[in-house]
């Protein structure tokens, strides 16, 4: 009997959102840290652990939220004449104009320029354009033997992330041997750096099974992490006086 034209149906139901390679291969967990300095951990069965920023890290929220900030107004052109300096010093200009008026106009222009500069700097911070990363120099210069570097502790500092006028101290959060420090990250600045941190990693550690198990017990799954972050975000609004 010919089977040409017959339709085949699979009895297996495919998932609506298939797992990514990372989700399929790594055991991912997330740690809530004070001031939104949250970290993510990707544990491989071979003992390697990739440390990065959690999805709701305070710096990444700056990158992803708020839309476009209004840029600062351009500095106004000074209308003071050549006699403005002498006027501000108290002498009478050659054209006979009043020194106080010129000094007042010059001060107003300077104040407007200062205000514009502050507004522009604030806009840069709101958009994450001031972001920069400084890795711990001792780790950058560390000596590696047989592919392994120094033993890092839970409180060991990997680097410092400056963003939005805030300094975030990035700690290991787990004990293990340093395998790699992502030294390419400091070459990026601003939103480019934040995008790299969002998708990449800070460091790779070789973690023992007992340390990995302890880390998993103290961390959250992605769903738990997102839920707790949402609950924490609501607390200031609920506690605010009416």
Spacing of C-alpha 111 from chain mean position: 32
What number is the average pLDDT over the span 32-50?
94
The confidence score (pLDDT) of residue 199 equals 86
In a domain, 159, yes or no: yes
Q: Looking at residue 219, which CATH number applies to its domain? A: 2.40.50.100
38 band by pLDDT with thresholds 50, 70 and 90: very high
In a domain, 147, yes or no: yes
50 band by pLDDT with thresholds 50, 70 and 90: very high
The confidence score (pLDDT) of residue 156 equals 97
CB neighbours of residue 170 within 10 Å: 25
34 band by pLDDT with thresholds 50, 70 and 90: confident
**What is the C-alpha end-to-end distance of the chain, expressed in Å?**
79
The confidence score (pLDDT) of residue 110 equals 60
SS3 at position 11: coil
List pLDDT tens digits, range 182-195: 999 999 999 999 99
The confidence score (pLDDT) of residue 235 equals 75
The confidence score (pLDDT) of residue 80 equals 40
Nearest Cα to 158, choosing from 62, 55, 50? 50
The two structure tokens encoding residue 35 = 């001031």
Is 105's pLDDT higher than 90? no
Is 48's pLDDT higher than 70? yes
Q: In the predicted model, what is the mean pLDDT of the chain?
A: 77
SS3 at position 99: helix
In a domain, 89, yes or no: no
Is 67's pLDDT higher than 60? no
Domain total of the chain = 1
| pTM score, whole prediction | 0.67
In a domain, 16, yes or no: no
The two structure tokens encoding residue 150 = 């120094």
In a domain, 199, yes or no: yes
Is 99's pLDDT higher than 70? no
Range of the domain at 38: 21-65+128-237
139 band by pLDDT with thresholds 50, 70 and 90: very high
> Which of the pair, 102 or 202, is modelled with greater confidence?
202
89 band by pLDDT with thresholds 50, 70 and 90: very low
SS3 at position 147: coil
In a domain, 35, yes or no: yes
Is 126's pLDDT higher than 80? no
> Which of the pair, 235 or 143, is modelled with greater confidence?
143
Is 151's pLDDT higher than 80? yes
List pLDDT tens digits, range 4-24: 666 666 677 766 666 666 767
Q: Of how many residues is the chain composed?
A: 242
Nearest Cα to 33, choosing from 182, 199, 219, 195? 219
What number is the average pLDDT over the span 35-57?
95
Q: Measuring CA to CA, how many Å separate 179 from each of 89, 207, 209, 229? A: 65, 10, 16, 31
Quick one: DSSP state of residue 219? S
């Amino acid at each position: 009997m010919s089977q040409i034209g017959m339709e085949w149906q699979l009895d297996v139901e495919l998932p609506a959102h298939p797992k990514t390679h990372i989700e399929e291969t790594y055991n991912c967990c997330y740690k809530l840290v004070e001031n939104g300095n949250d970290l993510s951990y990707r544990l491989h069965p071979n003992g390697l652990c990739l440390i990065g920023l959690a999805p709701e890290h305070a710096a990444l929220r700056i990158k992803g939220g708020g839309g476009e900030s209004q840029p600062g107004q351009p500095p106004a052109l000074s209308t003071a004449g050549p006699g403005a300096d002498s006027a501000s010093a108290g002498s009478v200009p050659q054209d006979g104009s009043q020194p106080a008026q010129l000094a007042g106009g010059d001060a107003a222009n300077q104040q407007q320029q200062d205000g514009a500069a502050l507004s522009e700097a604030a806009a840069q911070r709101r958009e994450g354009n001031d972001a920069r990363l400084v890795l711990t120099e001792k780790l950058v210069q560390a000596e590696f033997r047989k592919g392994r570097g120094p033993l890092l502790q839970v409180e060991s500092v990997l680097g410092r992330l400056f963003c939005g006028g805030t300094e975030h101290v990035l700690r290991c959060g787990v004990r293990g041997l340093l395998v790699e420090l992502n030294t390419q990250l400091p070459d990026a600045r601003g939103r480019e750096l934040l995008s790299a941190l969002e998708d990449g990693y800070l460091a790779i550690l070789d973690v023992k099974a007992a340390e990995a198990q302890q880390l998993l017990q103290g961390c959250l799954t992605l769903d738990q992490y997102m839920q707790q972050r949402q609950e924490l975000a609501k607390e200031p609004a609920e506690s605010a006086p009416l």
